[in-house]
């Protein structure tokens, strides 16, 4: 395996993943090789041939538009800060990334539906539990149908990444049974006075990888020269990007590429699903990458996700300052993966 990367990319590759659904293993491996190349050299890629029905995509867009059209007091009925499981409505200004400036967006966060009587929930595992569904017509059925389809796509992609790492195809299959995998419905309001500034600040994603649907330009990706490369929507595709945990697994061979959303004047909706392993899964460099001098220490994926949330959401930051919550032992600061490695 090679760990060399050409991080000075100026464009993002598009990969037809239909071969991952083939019964012929050579077809699956051919796609996996392309996935691995993109993960090593860019950390971002577009995927086509994904089998997510267009009706499901239209449904989740309609659900988001219906919810975000509600008056603010109705949306705040589902405020994430009142949730026991860190799910629900995220008003503009709730999140702060590396710049210290609030983001210009609102969101609704949906998690993997874990019943209240699940032992993980009953033991108080952060981020897990039932969703607090809005009483908006067809919202839950549309959101859940899209979530299931894209999460299944994530399982297929994880098998492709396993092949790309010369692992058994099913190496990661049992690592995501009740994961803290979040689907975010994100709304960037129309702003006629918008300037060329972030709508969401530079960051990497905490999980293994992200599957993003967006309907307008605005996404930018940072290359190794700290240049911002546009990643506009391409019809019929999703954007996939490597997250922190795949960077850890590969000791940096797969790069968690930093990205941001510009503040653009057009109204914009986006739908990232963050594919994670189960909360207590220990993530560490795979044997092929665990060489002397590797700078990546083992960490629990859920603890990393929770610690990043505790340092990003205003309501959680306040709870930490009041001593109501504490950061997990060994928690990393935000912006410490990919090209944002300022410290730990």
Domains of the chain by residue range: 14-321
Task: Return the pLDDT at 216.
Answer: 87
Q: Find the DSSP H helices in the chain.
A: 25-41, 54-68, 72-75, 119-122, 139-164, 244-249, 301-310, 314-321
* CA atoms of 50 and 269, how far apart (whole Å): 20
The pLDDT of residue 340: 44
Backbone angles phi, psi at 335, to 5 degrees: 60, 50
Q: Which secondary-structure segment (H or E) carries 269?
A: strand 268-275
Give the C-alpha separation, 152 to 245, whole Å.
Answer: 19
Task: Reduce the secondary structure of 230-268 to three states and give it as a string.
Answer: ECCCCCCCEEEEECHHHHHHCCCCCCCCCEEEECCCCCE
- Which segments of the chain have a pLDDT < 70? 1-7, 97-103, 192-201, 263, 292-294, 334-344
Contact assessment for residue 243 and residue 208, using Cβ atoms and an 8 Å cutoff: yes
Strand partners, 268: 188
Q: What is the pLDDT of residue 100?
A: 53
Q: What is the model's pLDDT at position 6?
A: 47
323's CB contacts (< 8 A; 6+ apart) are none
Q: Could you tell me the CA-to-CA distances from 144 to 110, 239, 344 in Å, in that order?
A: 9, 20, 36
Full strand arrangement of the beta sheet holding 182-188: 14-16, 44-48, 238-242, 209-214, 268-275, 182-188, 106-111, 88-90
Q: Up-side HSE of residue 84: CA atoms within 13 Å toward CB?
A: 11
Smallest CA-to-CA distance from 63 within 102, 108, 123, 124 is with: 108
| Count of residues making up the chain | 344
Look at residues 10, 35, 34, 31 and name the one whose alpha carbon lies nearest to residue 21: 31
CA separation for the pair 42, 13 (Å, rounded): 8
Chain mean position to CA 37: 20
Residue 335 is predicted with a pLDDT of 56
Distances (CA, A) of 255 to 31, 221, 249: 19, 12, 10
Q: Does domain 14-321 have CATH number 1.10.260.40?
A: no
Task: Report pLDDT for 1.
Answer: 37
**What are the b/e assignments for 248-268, b being 16+ CB within 10 Å?**
bbbbbbbbbbbbbbbbbeeeb
């Amino acid at each position: 395996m090679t760990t060399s990367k050409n991080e000075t990319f100026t464009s993002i590759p598009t990969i037809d993943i239909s071969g991952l659904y083939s019964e012929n293993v050579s077809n699956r491996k051919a796609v996996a090789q392309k996935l691995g190349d993109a993960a090593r050299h860019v950390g971002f890629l577009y995927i086509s041939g994904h089998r997510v029905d267009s009706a499901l995509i239209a449904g989740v867009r309609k659900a988001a538009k219906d919810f975000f059209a509600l008056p603010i007091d109705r949306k705040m009925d589902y405020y994430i800060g009142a949730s026991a499981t860190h799910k629900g409505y995220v008003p503009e200004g709730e999140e702060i990334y590396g710049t210290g400036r609030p983001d210009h967006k609102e969101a609704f966060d949906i998690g993997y539906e874990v019943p209240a009587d699940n032992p993980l929930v009953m033991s108080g595992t952060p981020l897990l539990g039932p969703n607090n569904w809005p009483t908006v017509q067809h919202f839950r059925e549309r959101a859940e149908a899209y979530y299931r389809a894209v999460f299944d796509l994530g399982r297929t992609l994880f098998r492709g990444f396993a092949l790309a790492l010369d692992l058994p195809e099913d190496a990661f299959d049992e690592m995501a049974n009740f994961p803290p995998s979040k689907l975010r419905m994100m709304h960037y309001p129309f702003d006629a006075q918008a300037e060329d500034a972030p709508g969401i600040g530079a960051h990497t994603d905490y999980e293994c990888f992200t599957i993003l649907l967006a309907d307008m330009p605005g996404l930018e990706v940072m290359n190794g020269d700290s240049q911002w490369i546009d990643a506009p929507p391409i019809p019929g595709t999703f954007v996939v990007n490597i997250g922190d945990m795949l960077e850890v697994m590969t000791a940096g061979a797969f790069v968690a590429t930093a990205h941001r959303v510009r503040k653009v004047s057009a109204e914009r909706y986006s739908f990232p699903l963050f594919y994670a392993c189960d909360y207590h899964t220990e993530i560490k460099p795979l044997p092929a990458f665990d060489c002397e001098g590797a700078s990546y220490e083992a960490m629990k994926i859920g603890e990393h996700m929770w610690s990043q949330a505790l340092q990003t959401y205003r309501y959680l930051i306040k709870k930490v300052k009041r001593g109501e919550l504490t950061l997990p032992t060994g928690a990393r600061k935000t912006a410490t993966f990919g090209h944002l490695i300022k410290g730990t």
